Chains A and B, each alone.
Chain A
Amino acid sequence: MSIITVTLVILVAFLAGMEGILDEFQFHQPIIACTLIGLATGHMAEGLFLGGTLQLIALGWMNIGAAVAPDAALASIAAAILVTMKGASVSEGIALAIPLAVAGQVLTIFVRSITVGLAHGADKKAREGSFRGVEMFHMIALCLQGIRIVIPAAIILAVPATAVTTGLAAIPDWVTGGLAVAGGFIVAVGYAMVINMMATPKLWPFFFLGFALAAVSELNLIAMGLIGVVLALVYLQLAPEFNGGNNNGGNNNSSGGDPLDDILNDY
């Protein structure tokens, strides 16, 4: 492995680590992180495939409030390095990604706790009226989150490929076979997390409609998306809770119609 490859991999790890906390550009999502590692190492096909599979598992991973989701950043980066540089197979990478996601969760909590101290540093700078001081503490915290992924990634990079492959070869067939089988249906947990957050009695019929259509028809995801959007629009037009507002007059403006339209018209 060349210096350039290592530098690029470390850079991607740093970006993914920062995004693990920012959650804005999505460099920590498996589909992005694994593909970038694949590009950096010249094994794009493996990275792409690993990223796609891990992405399905991670669909429901989200940071809500103060809760920390399993760490997609460490799982993606570490698994991608193992698969593209250390000779692990894609299914081995997926199996290893899950314990790595838990380890990353612990690291995230650790950095979030250290950051309490940095916030106090920012307070001190604020009392002096120093904008630069506050900015500095903010950026140190961000870099710590990046380093949280860079250090484990560097350790994995340092382990020789032969050690990884002999280690993986020592795993018996029943483990790898079983993990590959479980990889097929582990995505159900991700679906369950998303559904659990959104489900209300009113929404369940839409779930079953989607299920039945997908099970018995060959429609692709774009067609399904269109059907879903149409259903949502029709529902919003017909639902009594959004149409009862006409008789109370009151605060709506002269058009008397849909406030969404008013906002759109304002643009």
Chain B
Amino acid sequence: MAEQNNSYKLTKKDRLSVFWRSQFLQASWNYERMQNVGWAYAMIPALKKLYTTKEDRAEALKRHLEFFNTHPYLASPILGVTLTLEEEKAAGAEIDNAAIQGVKIGMMGPLAGVGDPIFWGTIRPVLGAFAASMALSGNIMGPIIFFLAWNLIRMGFLWNTQELGYRQGSNITQNLGGGVMQKITQGASILGMFIMGVLVPRWTTMNFPTVVSKVVFDPAKNAQDADKIVDFTSLISGANQGKLETSQIREVAAQIQQGRSISGEQVTTLGDIFNQLIPGLMPLLLTFLCIYLLRKKVSPIVIIFGLFVVGILGYVLGIFA
């Protein structure tokens, strides 16, 4: 067995320092090697501990300034694994630069694919929508809950997966392949799609004021119409003679609750017809149109501008209100 030397062992303090710095992974994101400097920046506390000569340090820094790009949170398990590899290398194990680079590249692709749907596709939209609905009702707890919940989840995830990677070392690639990640991704996607289905009819506003039909009720011409409008006559005569009774008001209120017409006419708008089919039908169709356009590679910003044009035209023509 190789001689154990404590200077080749990273302490919890070192690992916490890497964890803290990993939150700045993307600070110098660039089009050439993407997260490379951020990666090296996060590794520095460990490299400082493990390598003492100038040559070793230069070598280690160069090794970690190679191309790197993944989901910023899923870099943590990769950092953990790399920490173990660097520990072993510093202690004298035969690990060459290509092996370390191979582990990094091998993990960053699949893990990015897991992080995007879970963090960007599910947790943030769900938390954001929940917080926005609180904010729109004037509740300051909306942004506070968003900030605290997000950062608790994120930091908990960063630290725990980094530790998991550190403990498991290079075995982690096989462990993650065992269907766990697939399960988590699938579960998160189900929740995400379900909530998206909820949001579409709830928080999209589309009013179609166009009048499709207008029926005027006239008891003088049609005797049955008397049952369709609220009967105010007894109320008026009672009030004018100073003999208004609660029972009369109750009677009027009951008629309103039955859905009788107050104004003596019944107006049906285009929006009412859509809502009779199912509320939220038009927002649903609009969402599908947007998905179709996105799949045709139309940029989201072009679609947003297009919808603004549609909104202005619709408003001028009286289709929307």
> Interface residues, chain A, CB within 8 Å of chain B?
18, 21-26, 29, 31-32, 35, 44-45, 48-49, 51-53, 55-62, 64-66, 70, 95, 98, 101-102, 105, 112-113, 115-116, 118-119, 122-123, 125-129, 131, 134-135, 137-142, 145, 174-175, 177-200, 203-204, 206-216, 221-222, 224-225, 227-229, 231-233, 235-236, 239, 242, 245, 251-252, 259-260, 263, 267
Q: Does residue B229 face the partner (Cβ distance < 8 Å to A)?
A: no
Q: Please, how many angstroms separate the alpha-carbon atoms of A118 and B40 in the complex?
A: 14
A-B contact count (CB 8 A): 381
| Nearest CB in chain B: distance from A24 CB, A | 5
Interface size on B, residues (CB 8 A): 119
Task: Report B201-221 CB contacts with A as 1/0, cut-off 8 Å.
Answer: 111111100000000000000
Q: Decide if A232 touches B188 in the complex (CB within 8 Å).
A: yes
| A211-B197, A211-B201 given; A31·B34 CB < 8 A | no
How far apart are B288's CB and chain A's nearest CB, in angstroms?
8
Name the B residues within 8 Å of A231 (CB-CB): 190-191, 194
Considering the complex of A and B, which 8 residue pairs feature the smallest CB-CB distances, nearest first? A182-B311, A210-B197, A178-B312, A52-B135, A184-B205, A141-B28, A192-B290, A126-B61
The reply to whether B36 and A203 form a contact with Cβ atoms under 8 Å apart is: no
**CB <8 Å contact, B200 and A221:** no
Interface of B is mostly: helix
What's the Cα separation between A52 and B72 when bound, in Å? 25
List B contacts of A225 (CB < 8 A).
126, 130, 191, 195
Q: Do A214 and B135 touch (CB < 8 A)?
A: no
Q: Could you tell me which residues of chain B, from 164 to 199, have a CB within 8 Å of some CB in chain A?
A: 164, 174-175, 178-180, 182-184, 186-199
**Bound Cα distance A103, B171 (Å):** 45
Give the nearest-CB partner of B54 in chain A: A129
Residues of A within 8 A of B124 (CB): 26, 59, 62
- Give me 11 other A-B pairs in contact (C-beta within 8 A), A134-B41, A189-B307, A193-B300 excluded: A24-B26, A44-B140, A59-B129, A119-B32, A134-B44, A138-B37, A207-B197, A211-B284, A232-B194, A235-B186, A235-B190
- From 232 to 275 in chain B, residues with beta carbon under 8 angstroms from any chain A beta carbon are none
Which residue on B lies nearest to A141, using beta carbons? B28
> Considering only CB atoms, which chain A residue lies closest to B145 in the complex?
A31
CB proximity of B65 to chain A, nearest CB, Å: 6
Contact between A123 and B65 (Cβ–Cβ < 8 Å)?
yes
B14 at the interface (CB under 8 A from A): no
Q: Does B99 interact with chain A (Cβ within 8 Å)?
A: no
Contact assessment for B193 and A21 in the assembled complex, using a CB-CB cutoff below 8 Å? no
- Judge whether B30 is part of the interface by a CB distance below 8 angstroms: yes
Taking CB atoms, residues of chain A closer than 8 Å to B204 are: 184-185, 187-188, 191
B1 at the interface (CB under 8 A from A): no
- From A55, A98, A186, A197, B117 is in contact (CB under 8 Å) with A197
- A–B pairs, 11, beta carbons within 8 Å: A22-B25, A31-B128, A51-B132, A62-B121, A113-B31, A119-B28, A179-B308, A188-B290, A190-B125, A210-B197, A213-B198
A52 & B28 in contact (Cβ 8 Å cutoff): no
Would you call B194 and A192 a contact (CB within 8 A)? no
B116 at the A interface (CB under 8 A): yes
Once the chains bind, are B27 and A55 in contact (CB under 8 Å)?
A: no
8 A Cβ contacts from B102-159 to A: 112, 116-117, 120-122, 124-126, 128-136, 138-140, 142-143, 146-147, 150-151, 154
Question: A-contacting residues of B (Cβ < 8 Å)?
Answer: 23-34, 36-38, 40-41, 44, 47-48, 54-58, 61-62, 65, 69, 72, 112, 116-117, 120-122, 124-126, 128-136, 138-140, 142-143, 146-147, 150-151, 154, 160, 164, 174-175, 178-180, 182-184, 186-207, 278-280, 283-284, 286-288, 290-291, 293-295, 300-301, 303-305, 307-308, 310-316, 320-321
B30 to chain A, nearest CB (A): 4
Taken together as a complex, chains A and B put the C-alpha atoms of A122 and B65 apart, in Å, by: 8
Q: Which residues of chain A have C-beta atoms less than 8 A from B180's C-beta?
A: 259-260, 263
A194 to B193, CA, bound (A): 9
Are B193 and A204 interface neighbours, CB within 8 A? yes
Report how far A59 CA is from B304 CA in the complex, Å: 13
Indicate which residue in A51, A56, A178, A212 contacts B308 across the interface (CB closer than 8 Å).
A178
In angstroms, how far is the closest chain B Cβ from the Cβ of A37? Answer: 12
Minimum CB–CB distance from B254 to chain A (whole Å) comes to 23
With a cutoff of 8 Å between Cβ atoms, the chain A residues found around residue B182 in the complex are: 242
CA A45 to CA B135, docked complex, whole Å: 9
Q: Indicate which residue in A115, A177, A189 contacts B290 across the interface (CB closer than 8 Å).
A: A189
Contacts A138-B41, A192-B294, A232-B187; is A211 near B280 (CB within 8 Å)? yes
B contact residues around A239 at 8 Å (CB): 186
Given contacts A66-B69, A138-B41, A228-B191, contact A116 B30 (CB under 8 A): yes
Is B26 a contact partner of A191 (Cβ separation < 8 A)? no
- Residue of A23, A181, A194 touching B192 (CB-CB under 8 A): A194
Enumerate chain B residues within 8 angstroms of A216, measured Cβ to Cβ. Answer: 278-279
Cα distance A206–B150 in the bound complex, in angstroms = 24
Of B29, B36, B294, which is within 8 A of A21 by CB?
B29
Q: Are B312 and A175 in contact (CB under 8 A)?
A: yes
Asked whether A52 lies within 8 Å of B136 as measured between CB atoms, the reply is: yes
The distance from the CB of A126 to the nearest CB of chain B, in whole angstroms, is: 4
From A26, A129, A252, contact of B146 by CB (8 A): A26
Closest to A261 in B: B180
The CA of A178 and the CA of B139, in the complex, are separated in Å by 28
Interchain CB contact under 8 A, B192 and A198:
yes
